[in-house]
């Protein structure tokens, strides 16, 4: 497994593979890997001849009161996991390598950046779009894999790739969960034991949403049912419950005859957890 810390090194590795006619898939991460990330690498392995995993805690997607300084990091552990999972290369740049000095260009997808999680975290998705564009330009992959847990992020990246005619395919991978249903996240390790126990209400509320959707419930009934389940956890601070069209993320009211996506953002202490599920009426 190649470990590349500069743009020149990863470009040279990819250039060699592509000159041999091999395809390349990239898996962007911020490190502190868990089984969810490794599932993305396995999916990438199935999609392409070569897999590049990137590890970069991107400062431009963190707000002034967010957890950049405390975001968990363990490079040695990450590299061991990726070597066993079969990543062909890992790109681990520094902030200076990625952004240099004097940079003044950003990528934005205004409509998708300004809604939902983007409204809660101004500037977040501009940072995501910018770093993902830079990684695509550096690695020049044929494919890229992202988890569906970050549903809005996945939608935004797909829109950006279409709008800018980027020559790659975006692959979404279903949310990977712990045995008790909690969506895997690098932030889970920061939950207290009490909060970790209570956090399973996110998945339980999505189960409730799925049941209600199949019964033909309205959007208001879905929201009320989800909220009732989340409120059974004393420590849960509900930041948002959004029910949107699963394809367009457009707002809905009344009944939907199409699939909808339920998007949750719930804080436990200092840790903000997100989760999602696409649910649909019974056919």
Task: State the binding site.
Answer: 30-37, 61, 147-150, 153, 176, 184-187
- DSSP H stretches of helix in the chain: 7-19, 35-47, 75-85, 95-99, 110-114, 117-120, 124-139, 151-163, 193-198, 201-214, 219-230
Q: How far apart are CA 182 and CA 188, in angstroms?
A: 9
37 is catalytic: yes
Contact 40, 173 (CB under 8 A): yes
**What strands, in cross-sheet order, belong to the sheet with 236-245?**
236-245, 260-268, 271-279
Residue among 37, 124, 173, 195 flagged as catalytic: 37
Bridge partners for 134 per DSSP = none
Annotated binding site for ATP: 30-37, 147-150, 176, 184-187
Q: How far apart are CA 169 and CA 158, in angstroms?
A: 9
Contact 192, 269 (CB under 8 A): yes
Annotated binding site for (R)-pantoate: 61, 153
Which position has the token pair 């000159």? 19
Catalytic residues: 37
């Amino acid at each position: 497994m190649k470990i590349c810390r500069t743009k020149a090194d990863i470009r040279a590795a990819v250039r060699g593979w592509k000159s041999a006619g091999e395809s390349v898939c990239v898996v962007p991460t911020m490190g502190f890997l868990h089984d969810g990330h490794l599932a993305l690498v396995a999916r990438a392995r199935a999609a392409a001849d070569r897999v590049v995993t990137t590890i970069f805690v991107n400062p431009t997607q963190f707000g002034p009161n967010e957890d950049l300084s405390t975001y968990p990091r363990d490079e040695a552990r990450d590299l061991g996991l990726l070597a066993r999972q079969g990543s062909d290369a890992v790109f681990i740049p520094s902030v200076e390598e990625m952004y240099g000095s004097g940079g003044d260009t950003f990528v934005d997808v205004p409509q998708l950046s300004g809604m939902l999680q983007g409204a809660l975290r101004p500037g977040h998705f501009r940072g995501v779009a910018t770093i993902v564009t830079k990684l695509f330009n550096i690695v020049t992959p044929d494919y890229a894999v992202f988890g569906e847990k970050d549903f809005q992020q996945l939608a935004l990246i797909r829109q950006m790739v279409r709008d800018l005619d980027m020559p790659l395919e975006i692959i979404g991978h279903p949310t990977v969960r712990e045995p008790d249903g909690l969506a895997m996240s690098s932030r889970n390790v920061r939950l207290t034991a009490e909060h970790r126990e209570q956090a399973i209400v996110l998945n339980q509320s999505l189960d409730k949403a799925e049941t209600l959707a199949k019964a033909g419930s309205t959007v208001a009934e879905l929201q009320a049912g989800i909220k009732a389940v989340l409120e059974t956890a004393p420590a849960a601070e509900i930041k948002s419950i959004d029910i949107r069209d699963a394809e367009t993320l457009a707002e809905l009211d009344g009944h939907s005859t199409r699939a909808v996506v339920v998007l949750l953002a719930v804080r436990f202490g200092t840790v903000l957890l997100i989760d999602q599920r696409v649910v649909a009426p019974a056919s």
